Amino acid sequence: MSAPAPRLSPASVEELARLSDAASRRRFFRTHPRFIHASIVEQLADAVRERVHVDVNEAAALSEAAIVAARRVLSDDAMARALRAKANALRFRNELRPAVGLFDEAARLFERSGNLVELGRTLSSSIKAQLLLGRYAQALDAAKRAEKIFTALGDDHRLARLEINVANILHRQDRFAEALERYERALERLIPFDDAEGIGVSLHNMAVCLIALNDFERAVATYERARAHCDRAGMKALVAQADYNIAYLHFFRGDYNRALDMLRVARVACSAAGDLYHAALCNLDQAEIYLELDLRDEAAEMARDAQAIFERLGNAYETARAQTNLAIALSRQGEPLRALELLGQARAQFEREHNAAWPSVIDLYQAVLLANEGRHVEARQLALAALAAFRTLGLRRKEAICELLLARIALRTYAVSDAVAHCRSALARIDESEAPVLAHEAHFLLGQIEEASNKPADAYASYRAARDWLESQRSVLCGEDLKIAFMTGKAAVYERLVDLCLHHANQQRAAVEIFGYVEDAKSRSLRDAFFERVHPMPLLGAGQREMARPIRTLREELNWYHHRIEREQLNRDDRSVKRLESLQAELRRREHAFIKVLREMPPGDRTSIGLRDAAAATPDAIRATLKPETTLVEYFRTGDRILAVLLTRDDLKVIPLTTVSRVRRPLRMLQFHLSRFQFDLDRVGASACDATQVHLYELYQELLAPLPLERGRPVVIVPHDLLHSVPFHALYDGHSYVADTTDLSYAPSASIYALCGQRSAPHGNGSLVLGVPDGRAPFILDEVRAVANLLPHVEARIGADASIGTLRALGPGRRIVHIATHGYFREDNPLFSGVRLGDSYLTLYDISSLPLPVDLVTLSGCGTGLSVVADGDELRGLTWGLLAAGARSLLVTLWDVHDRSTAEFMKFFYRGIEAGLGKAAALRAATAELRREYDHPYYWAPFILIGADSA
């Protein structure tokens, strides 16, 4: 009776899985010679098959151990098993060429030894790697040979596994419905054999087919089914891959929050399972989402991480994609030269990969950057090359972008006739591809060309057409497929219309038209956020839910098809013109359906299902919220010119004022003098006030002196662009400050001012006072106590008790919420600007999910009113977040404040509030009191009131 074949204990298998070099493996088998046996090679090969779904690096180590043992067994069968095991590990690590070579060698050895069962298994296993390398003929040949063997042997289990690989071939040939049918058949035939791996792969591939068939709901459901199955079977790598794929689908549908959360989880799981490839894909997709959200720093970080991993793995195509995303992020961060360098490296890599589309896309990216740098000859050459390639590839939208860029270059180089020709050609392409974002850009550019040709009437018509495209498509627009900064800012069309209207013969009519354009150009997203809260809706009834469902579905499908089209255009190795045309037709069908639904839906129904579409307030609507005698002064920058629109109860007029250059110099000098207090308070001399007054006087002369404002009457200031940094209340006329005689408040736009006034003011609910004192600001404690003593019905919380949870629980519905703490402003990423609370920092991101319907929010910390002014004069900072959260008015600071003088100021301010003064009047009175002790504007002028003055 022969001795039983040796077996490795689980501990020995784990030991071999952890060995990282050939010498240690050879030492293991010298120490344990009984393990040099064919059964050990087979056991290790089986362990590799299981381990690749858990930890691919450990699986690769076990396959190397199998080869060490097989070399000493001296058997074709043993060596073939070991080689096939290593091929499987390499395939899971995406090292396809060496994997195919090992599969071929293993098949040759099994055939030589006459082992038909294992020959069939090896042929079947090799099909996936052959497909990924584009070797379709070899894949089909292997499938036919394997099917013949398994049929002869009556091996139903192997035939069921082979169905998966045959379906893979159909999938690569775009026969998705047939492939799906084969995967489903394989799943049905594998279940009786309880083949965990085969079932998991079938489910995964079914989901991939469903994506290709644009069946999002079934795709997500199938991935979730695959995840649950793989989790039960302990296949951690496949669980992580399923998480990644589900996140990827949500990204495609435009659900960025869910996608980001799932990608973070999936990246950790993939890394833990040793699947660095999918971990890097998580980074790559996060970078793309951050680019769509214009979070440049985060996008650059994720792209760098992805690039490093892909380079280490040897994934050239994915490395190039990561480099491209990094270049786009750097271009937005103001590093065009570094971006151009990276794009050049990525282009060379895409060419080595024989990618048809990506090199031309990068030519276009580089052309945009070069044009922005004034290198027009180089930019034109690249744009023409990209245009020729896109014509060959049939990419109409990208053809249109090339034509628009060439038109822009021609205009900048005074080749007006060429500019017109390129612009007309772009419009023809846009008509073919129905691209509304590009239509807006083309009409705007045509307007610029006509202005340059001294045709103001034609230019006005073109700008109106651009504006109409922009306004009609606001609810449906998705991101354009050129991610590098190319499109004109949406506010530019309003600036040009305002400029042309200034020359209109009928000044009163022009003033009304200008006011409308100015309001349309400002704070649109904040106005939309107000619209939801000013007109709160009850929970949707059954009928409203039915109306909301198709809108929500169409929005998701629009995002889905935009992303599908972009991926199809740039596909690595199986790009299909027919498939691309089909996707574009589906996109157009849904765009038309979405616009039709919006057009036919009554405004009330649009609001009831959550469509944010707040129109700008009319002059009469704003007048209704103005106090008698109050003047609203709305500034607007158009090019280098600054004008003011004055609105009162009785009049509307437009007054051209000055130039940006005449304002920028004194504003910079003012900011310089104020910054000296922040860095060296004790060494600022008495002459500092005189020096500061000089620049406040200069700004007064430019911005207020030309206006017919009656001294002592209330004023609402609506700044624009760089004027958001001007302390208008502190401007100096040579004898007194504006705040000496005028109740002055601010608003992001006239419409926002009106909407603040329309919000109902909470009464009788008391106030909430939060304070977080520390060594840097010891007077915060005095401030909290003083404010709490002045206000009736106060809930006061200090230190750790002044938490986000406290604000969330006790803040909504209060009359006043006062927060005394350190504030900080992130100019690089305003989303993470915030104030320090007792348990963490309250950022703009947190505020966006915090309902805070109160009459007044006071943030007495440093620079709490600072904002980045984004395109469309959108204020990205705490001001935006708090107004969107429901506050009627804000008391915030324009620069870092002195904590002792701030504590004094707040006592004076709330004393005025409790005496019955309006907020602006209380602010002016507090300023006057504080100036008795602190004469310099640094101390008394940082505080501004934004929003509604009345209670």
What are the pLDDT digits (tens) for 96-109?
889 999 999 999 99
Give me the half-sphere count of Cα atoms (radius 13 Å) on the Cβ side of residue 724: 23
**C-beta separation of 329 from 299 below 8 A:** yes
pLDDT digits (tens, 9 = 90+) for 11-45: 998 999 898 888 999 999 999 989 899 999 999 99
pLDDT category of residue 632 using cuts at 50, 70 and 90: very high
pLDDT band at 115 (very low <50, low <70, confident <90, very high): very high
Q: Which residue has the higher pLDDT, 59 or 613?
A: 59
SS3 290: helix
Give 244's pLDDT tier (boundaries 50, 70, 90). Answer: confident
pTM of the predicted model as reported, rounded to 2 decimal places = 0.68
Cα 485 to Cα 365: distance, rounded to the nearest angstrom: 9
- Give domain 10-226+235-243's CATH superfamily: Tetratricopeptide repeat domain (1.25.40.10)
Which of 552, 558, 550, 551 lies closest to 586, judged by CA? 558
Mean pLDDT, rounded, for 789-818 = 88
- Mean pLDDT over 815-841 rounds to 73
- pLDDT tens column, 422-478: 999 998 888 766 666 688 889 999 999 999 999 999 999 999 998 888 776 554 444
Q: What is the pLDDT of residue 773?
A: 79
Q: What is the pLDDT of residue 520?
A: 84
> What average pLDDT does the segment 537-552 reach?
50
Strands 631-638 and 641-647: antiparallel
Q: Report d(CA 124, CA 165) in Å as an integer.
A: 7
pLDDT at residue 483, as a whole number: 43
**pLDDT confidence of residue 716:** 96
What is the mean predicted confidence (pLDDT) over 847-857? 82
Determine contact, residues 820/780, Cβ cutoff 8 Å.
Answer: yes
For residues 878 and 824, give the distance between their C-alpha atoms in angstroms, rounded to a whole number: 10
Q: Distance between CA atoms of 236 and 272, rounded to whole angstroms?
A: 9
In angstroms, how far is CA 826 from the centroid of its own chain? 17
pLDDT band at 602 (very low <50, low <70, confident <90, very high): low
Q: Residue 505 class from Cβ within 10 Å (0-12 exposed, 13-18 middle, 19+ buried)? A: exposed
| More confident: 534 or 497 | 497
Residue 276's nearest CA partner among 299, 248, 305, 243 is: 305
Q: Which 8-state DSSP code applies to residue 777?
A: B
Instruction: Identify the band that residue 81 occupies on the pLDDT scale cut at 50, 70 and 90.
Output: very high
Whether residue 545 has pLDDT greater than 60: no
Say what the pLDDT of residue 306 is.
94
Q: What is the mean pLDDT of the chain?
A: 82
180 CB contacts (<8 Å, ≥6 apart)?
A: 167, 206, 209, 210, 213
Model pLDDT for residues 213-233, shown as the tens digit of each residue: 777 788 888 888 988 988 888
Is residue 951's pLDDT more than 80?
Answer: no
Topology adopted by domain 754-947: Rossmann fold (3.40.50)
For 244-354, CATH number out of 1.25.40.10, 3.40.228.10, 3.30.830.10, 1.20.58.220 equals 1.25.40.10
Calculate mean pLDDT across residues 547-572.
Answer: 62
List, for residues 345-361, the tens digit of each pLDDT value.
Answer: 999 988 887 777 889 99
The per-residue pLDDT for 853 is: 87
Q: Looking at the predicted structure, is the pLDDT value of residue 139 above 50?
A: yes
Share of the chain above pLDDT 70, in %: 82
pLDDT at 380 over 60: yes
